[in-house]
Structure 1
Amino acid sequence: MQWVRNLILVGLAIVSYLLILAWQKDYGAVPPAPTAAVAPAAVPAGSDLPGAPAAPVANSDIPPAPSAAGPLPVTAVQPLSTGLVKVRTDVLDVTIDPQGGDIVNVALPGYTRTVTSEEPFHLLENSPQRVFVAQSGLIGANGPDARPEGRPLYQAQKNSWQLQPGQQELKVDLKFADAAGVEIHKIYTFSAGHYDVKVAYEVINRSTQPWRGSLYGQLKRDNTEDPSKNHQGMMGMSTYLGAAWGTPDKTFNKLQFKNFVDEPLNQTVKGGWTAIVQHYFVTAWVPSASTANQLTSRQSADQRFHFIGFTTPEFVVPAGQQQQVAATFYAGPKVQDKLKHLAPGLELTVDYGWLWFIGQILFWLLKTIHALVGNWGWAIIGLTVTVKALFFPLSAKSYKSMANMRRVTPELQRIKEQFGADRQKMSVEMMALYKRENINPVAGCLPILIQMPVFLALYWVLMESVELRHAPWLLWINDLAAMDPYFVLPLLMGATMYGQQMLNPQPTDPMQAKVLRMMPIMFTVFMLWFPSGLVLYWVVNNTLSIIQQAIITRQIEAAAKKA
């Protein structure tokens, strides 16, 4: 029955390799934009406005007026300042374009671009290298973003705003007015320590007619690669880059960019959210949970840009009155505690794969240990010890079985040599030996199978958790989410795996023995480009296994000598 154990070990290697292939397939790099197929009812080139809750006019992404009344005449007031508006808080550096009032750049001071640089990571930007912006506005019968002459030019009191130390909230008020007497304030509210921003539109109707419009918010992104992914050589991991959305009934859904044409999002739900997800970071729009919002996705006519967002129902501001409508914008790290309070399911953008329920437990343990030791490397070691302790009874059973198998290996070899020509007789004699020595040859396999889901879940946790990004441990390990630059940990992992193998009973079949000796080499090659945090887990786990297995083996061999 030695072949069962060997088969499981080979299967573990195959599973590891398939895990890499599956990750690449599911979360691979963004495919190039198609050149032939065009999304049905795609918006015209050069226009970023979404469709409206009503059916769009042919060849236009501008929705028809909700009523027979025509739109009010709008004439932009010349703003006092026309430059970009800069806003800085303790966690966000934001750039707002007065033309439309869109967020065209978001830098995160708490997250550097690389582990060795001081330049903040840019989550959103509008440059020749990459276009990723957050747009919002008012469309519909009287919405200024639906004007034939283009989007409104807002007026700001100043071009530079900063949240001061001790200040909890900062409001940035952008103003637009038309000749009919309608004044619109686009108000960004930033809070200390928060990556979510409230975006409110206050419509003050001083005209003689009711004002009608709808709020939309959307994310616009091109086909460039994920700037936050790890580049780790030929076997580096490519995490998911694409859209996501949630509703009260189905809180988390993925929509890959390549599916924007064939599977466009178009649902009207109460509340909901839309987002673009990348490695470690997420950007999202969360409309009001009390309104029935239309969630949509589409591709630009030239297929260069992807849009995903929401549109609220039409609201009416009677003449002489004012009304406010708002949504929440988030741009920052995928920290579950921050995301789960914004919308149901948004925290699931931290994707632990199909073993997410185990991954969540492991991450909770990892975070709890980190709160005690203050270093993610030591937290991984603490997690390894904890998991090893939880599986101690199963491991002990497995190692006892292996030790007993090792003890009777000479007898197994004798049986093979004596009855090698008669397979049936050899099997009968081996089973008789197992029964006489009270050995279950399969007992050592079950614990390995039970622990495999834990190993796989931990893989997702260490790959997806932004807390480990640029997190140092010791000496040269300055980023637990990146590969070991000197390959020391992978080589140690291979050495400990070989040491553990030497404590196991050796196969009597020369071919099986050869395959088994190749396992440490195969796993070492796999681990060369894996995150150092994951390899650290394997090194510690193997070391603890060697200690436990060596103690049990000596106890059993000593008991056999006394007998």
Structure 2
Amino acid sequence: MDDQNKNLILAVALSFLVILIWFVVFPPPEPEATLDNASLEAPLEAPVPSTASAPQASAPGQTAQGTTAPVDTDIQNAPRVAIETPSLSGTISLIGGRIDDLSLKQYKTSIEPGAEIVTMLAPVGSAEPYYALYGWAPSAGIAPDQVPGAFTEWTLTQGETLGPDSPITLQWDNGAGLLFERVIAVDEDFMFSVTQSVRNNTEAAVSLAPYGVLARHGQPADAKNFFILHEGAIRFADDELTETDWDDFADDGSRDRVDVTEAGWTGFTDHYWQSVLIPPAQATAKLETFLEPNRGIYQTSATLGTQTVAPGASSSVTTQLFAGAKEWETIRAYQNAGVAKFIDSIDWGWFFFLTKPIFWLLHELNKLIGNMGWAIIGLTLIIKAVLFPLAYKSYVSMAKMKELQPEMEKLKERAGDDRQKLQQEMMELYKREKVNPAAGCLPILLQIPIFFSLYKVIFVTIELRQASWLGPFRDLSTPDPTSLINLFGLLPFDSPEPGSILALIFIGILPLILGISMWLQQKLNPAPTDPTQQMIFAWMPWVFMFMLGGFASGLVIYWIANNVITFSQQYIIMRSQGYTPDILGNIRGSFRSKGKDDA
């Protein structure tokens, strides 16, 4: 077996091994069971952060004001204030002033006609309660019933509908000399600003700390639980990013706590959506993340430093709440506006130094072309252009090695069974002719991290969600929707469910084109003489064809484009070096060989 074929087989085997490990060793687990409705009957007690200056959460059924909490039906029937922006719709409950009803107007749950818009936050009593709460943690000298909490009944004093140019104001008087006010504003995208203030009308100074809490009852039903994607809690604190998967929460109720002195934020992230509490920059804050184990309520909170308010004085603090889609441009704009490292809330992975520039380039191409499928092909052209100098050397080396084939055969005859002598003479031949036998596999090896980085980008970023290309390809983040069953998209029938046995058998048009392109690329070179090599080369395109049938169609488009460009480059370069591959002859030879084997 000559070194050229050894290197090529090694490179192909490494690619195959990595993909095989991906699906065999790390299969996506089944989604976790969600919390049933029976466990949600008891209302959430006021989730006051457990700090040195804050009281412990009240017992079930008790509010922070010490009176019986409203039952779930009362929370659902509480007065509400409408939210209406270009991006959001929903309501705010006057019980607790909680932001607990929010939908994303620009996103549908599927590409099917009549699909509902995506639900971001949901109130207690719904299938998956998920909401934001705000309040004040009392310090010494203030009773728990003198501060607003999860079940405080606020009064709307200003505004009717919350919109980009129309904030609302809520008030609550504790009846003991403290007047609390909350002003909520929202921009045209997904950012809320919440200003909490207190006026001290008593004759003594009071100390208390403002906080915000995100509470989520159970894990989301649509959680992917896939190793390539982080879902769960996410936190940034003074240049350190922490990700906690749903299964990694401590089940004993212990709190993951960190103090922030410069900049930080904390929240929950899903595949395409996230909610994040953002304290003001340069403010001291305590960030906590924990699971309340009895009822499976996940919580993350941001508590600011204790405010001491003198008699007749007032104090206020403004925090932000992001609740929406993880759009790259939108999140980058918020980062430029002062939210530190907010772009890292998108899961770029360990190879962020590749995924970030790849996504940026893909995003810019999509803006220029207006079609994500063609943008992926354009990205492939650029990547191949960047790697062209290395590819040129590789293909020149392959052409020279083809010219050396007769001389190498003579060396094998002279060496006989002396493998050491053969290797020495072959190395001398390579050195004399200035041929690098390892050059042929380098472009293939470089494609592996680029391939996985692009897969990460296509799988994680919302810009690829429901992005169309042409014809039946209306969502490049999902597998090929065509198959033989619907005549590759010509008939109005659904393809087999991805992952099913039928989907493995009746593959789509893109995986089929991929297999053919790999097969044709092999025919640039004469078939190897070794039977083992022949078998590997014969099966490899079709194995990859079936394996990649379940990948996102956007990634298969990239691989097809890469194969076509590689085929063209290699053919042109090898011809320029005086070696003209007999492609048709190789194809005919492979069929003749196949016929002999069958006979």
Post-superposition offset of 1:472: 0.9
Q: Is the 8 A contact 1:51 1:62 kept in 2?
A: no
Distance 1:22 1:458, change over 3 A: farther
Post-superposition offset of 1:317: 2.6
Q: Is the 8 A contact 2:7 2:441 kept in 1?
A: yes
Of residues 276, 279, 298, the one that matches 1:287 is 279
Of residues 197, 208, 215, the one that matches 1:213 is 208
Please state if 1:169 is matched with 2:165.
Answer: yes
Query: Aligned residue for 2:315?
Result: 323
Post-superposition offset of 1:205: 2.9
Query: Aligned residue for 1:67?
Result: none
Query: Aligned residue for 1:40?
Result: none
- Residue pairs, 1:190-201, within 5 angstroms: 190-192=186-188, 194-201=189-196
Q: Distance in 2 between matches of 1:426 and 1:541?
A: 36
Of residues 509, 519, 523, the one that matches 1:488 is 509
Query: Aligned residue for 1:37?
Result: none
For 2:79, what is the secondary structure of its paired residue? coil
Query: Aligned residue for 2:6?
Result: 3
Letter in 2 for 1:125: A
Query: Aligned residue for 1:38?
Result: none
Query: Aligned residue for 1:256?
Result: 245
Q: Distance in 2 between matches of 1:222 and 1:470?
A: 28
Post-superposition offset of 1:55: 6.5
Post-superposition offset of 1:181: 3.7
Letter in 1 for 2:265: W
Query: Aligned residue for 1:296?
Result: 288
Query: Aligned residue for 2:219?
Result: 224
Query: Aligned residue for 1:99?
Result: 95
Post-superposition offset of 1:303: 5.1
Q: Distance in 2 between matches of 1:72 and 1:160?
A: 27
Please state if 1:265 is matched with 2:256.
Answer: yes
Post-superposition offset of 1:196: 0.7
Post-superposition offset of 1:240: 1.9
Q: Is the 8 A contact 1:45 1:301 kept in 2?
A: no
Of residues 206, 225, 231, the one that matches 1:241 is 231
For 1:212, what is the secondary structure of its paired residue? strand
Alpha-carbon deviations, 1:468-510, whole Å to 9, x = none?
1111111111111111111221221121111112214543432
Q: Distance in 1 between matches of 2:245 and 2:317?
A: 30
For 1:445, what is the secondary structure of its paired residue? helix
Post-superposition offset of 1:283: 1.1
Distance 1:505 1:314, change over 3 A: farther
For 1:326, what is the secondary structure of its paired residue? strand
Q: List gaps (5 residues or longer) in structure 1.
A: 35-43, 64-70, 231-235
For 1:371, what is the secondary structure of its paired residue? helix
Please state if 1:460 is matched with 2:481.
Answer: no
Alpha-carbon deviations, 1:81-106, whole Å to 9, x = none?
94233211111113222211111122
Instruction: Say how many residue pairs are matched.
Output: 528
Per mean C-alpha deviation after superposition, the further-off stretch among 341-350 and 420-429 is 420-429
Q: Is the 8 A contact 1:190 1:196 kept in 2?
A: yes
Distance 1:144 1:560, change over 3 A: closer
Letter in 1 for 2:193: K
Query: Aligned residue for 2:575?
Result: 554
Post-superposition offset of 1:383: 1.0
- Residue pairs, 1:24-173, within 5 angstroms: 46-54=44-52, 60-61=56-57, 82-116=78-112, 117-126=114-123, 127-141=125-139, 142=142, 151-156=151-156, 161=161, 163=163, 168-173=164-169
Distance 1:29 1:153, change over 3 A: farther
Letter in 1 for 2:310: P
Q: Distance in 2 between matches of 1:159 and 1:75?
A: 30
Letter in 2 for 1:298: F
Q: Distance in 1 between matches of 2:467 and 2:581?
A: 49
- Residue pairs, 1:347-366, within 5 angstroms: 347-366=343-362
Q: Distance in 1 between matches of 2:31 and 2:105?
A: 27
For 2:308, what is the secondary structure of its paired residue? strand
The TM-score with structure 2 as length reference comes to 0.79
For 2:351, what is the secondary structure of its paired residue? helix
Distance 1:530 1:417, change over 3 A: farther
Q: Is the 8 A contact 2:190 2:323 kept in 1?
A: yes
| Identity in percent | 30
Distance 1:173 1:434, change over 3 A: same
Letter in 1 for 2:45: S
Q: Is the 8 A contact 1:154 1:176 kept in 2?
A: yes
Q: Is the 8 A contact 1:31 1:223 kept in 2?
A: no
Q: Distance in 2 between matches of 1:497 and 1:280?
A: 33
Q: Distance in 2 between matches of 1:145 and 1:524?
A: 66
Q: Distance in 2 between matches of 1:114 and 1:13?
A: 33
Post-superposition offset of 1:296: 0.7
Q: List gaps (5 residues or longer) in structure 2.
A: 36-41, 70-74, 483-507, 583-599
Per mean C-alpha deviation after superposition, the further-off stretch among 154-163 and 303-312 is 154-163
Post-superposition offset of 1:112: 1.0
Alpha-carbon deviations, 1:429-450, whole Å to 9, x = none?
5445545654321111223333
Post-superposition offset of 1:74: 10
Distance 1:186 1:147, change over 3 A: closer
Q: Distance in 2 between matches of 1:350 and 1:520?
A: 34
Q: Distance in 2 between matches of 1:261 and 1:531?
A: 34
Alpha-carbon deviations, 1:270-314, whole Å to 9, x = none?
231101111122210001223211111111131511111211111
Letter in 2 for 1:449: L
Post-superposition offset of 1:541: 1.0
Per mean C-alpha deviation after superposition, the further-off stretch among 312-321 and 374-383 is 312-321
The TM-score with structure 1 as length reference comes to 0.84
Q: Distance in 1 between matches of 2:17 and 2:537?
A: 13
Q: Is the 8 A contact 1:228 1:280 kept in 2?
A: no
CA RMSD, 1 decimal: 3.5
Q: Distance in 1 between matches of 2:68 and 2:10?
A: 76
Please state if 1:499 is matched with 2:517.
Answer: no
Post-superposition offset of 1:23: 6.7
Please state if 1:536 is matched with 2:526.
Answer: no
Alpha-carbon deviations, 1:324-370, whole Å to 9, x = none?
21210001122234332352222112122111012111122112222
Q: Is the 8 A contact 2:135 2:148 kept in 1?
A: no
Alpha-carbon deviations, 1:508-562, whole Å to 9, x = none?
432133123322122222311211111111111111111111112222345899x
Q: Is the 8 A contact 2:146 2:174 kept in 1?
A: no
